[in-house]
Amino acid sequence: MKKRLHRQDYDKLYLIFTEGTKTEPYYFEGFKKAIEKNTKKVLIEIVGVGKATTKLLEFADEFIEEFAIENAEIWLVTDKDDFQDTHFNKLVSECEKRDKRKDLNNWWHAAWSNECFELWFILHFSFYQAAATRNEYYRMLKAQFQKLGSKTYVKNDPEIFNILSTKGNPQLAIHYAKKLYEEKKGQIPSSAKPCTTVFKLVEELARYLPKDLQERYYR
């Protein structure tokens, strides 16, 4: 008999599969903790997979089958990095195709970043539209954290959600990410650099945050 992830007592179920095993899970765990203190009607499960693009999709498929997941919002969080363009684009297009199908029991979304997830962090402080490497984003974040008088940016920081929510400007990050996304409209994801659609997932989750924290995300 298959295992089943029960959700009888929940109005919404979010399953977030991340390429990374620490940075992205730590960030979204911050949402999970804040939301679950605020409402018992939303269940958020985060799985740090350690696989990217099409391998991430395959893992999600296997997980959903094993646990007999139904009526869930499925989000795949992945970066372009140095992965093949075709694999990166395929994950995004496959999620879009699945989300339009009426015969599937879940809703599929990709929260992708080109080049990397750290672009989303940068946008909490300033608009940035030049292509950069992951290491360059790290340097920018370290410099920004020093300006704030905060501890330096450390990759895989368990407190990253709290830092960005209080020291950064989530409203600005959403606005800037949307601006980048509009500028790259019509381009395939692998060519849209820099760009991130993490804002789509963040907007979804922010609806369930406690009011005082929610105001940091919505005007």
Please compute, for residue 184, the number of CA atoms within 13 A of its CA located in the half-sphere on the CB side: 22
Residue 24 domain-assigned (yes or no): yes
Residue 57 domain-assigned (yes or no): yes
Q: Alpha helix locations (H) across 39-159?
A: 53-66, 85-100, 118-122, 134-147
Residue 194 domain-assigned (yes or no): yes
Query: Total structural domains in the chain?
Result: 1
Q: What is the pLDDT of residue 203?
A: 98
pLDDT tens digits, residue range 11-41?
Answer: 899 999 999 999 999 999 999 999 998 888 9
Residue 54 domain-assigned (yes or no): yes
Q: What is the pLDDT of residue 80?
A: 92
pTM of the predicted protein model = 0.94
Residue 31 domain-assigned (yes or no): yes
Is the CA virtual torsion 189, 192, 195, 199 positive or negative?
negative
pLDDT tens digits, residue range 141-167?
Answer: 999 988 887 667 888 899 999 999 999
Full domain range(s) for residue 53: 12-214
Distance of alpha carbon 190 from alpha carbon 138, whole angstroms: 21
- Report residue 109 as tokens: 């979304």
Residue 1 domain-assigned (yes or no): no
Q: What is the pLDDT of residue 31?
A: 98
Residue 3 domain-assigned (yes or no): no
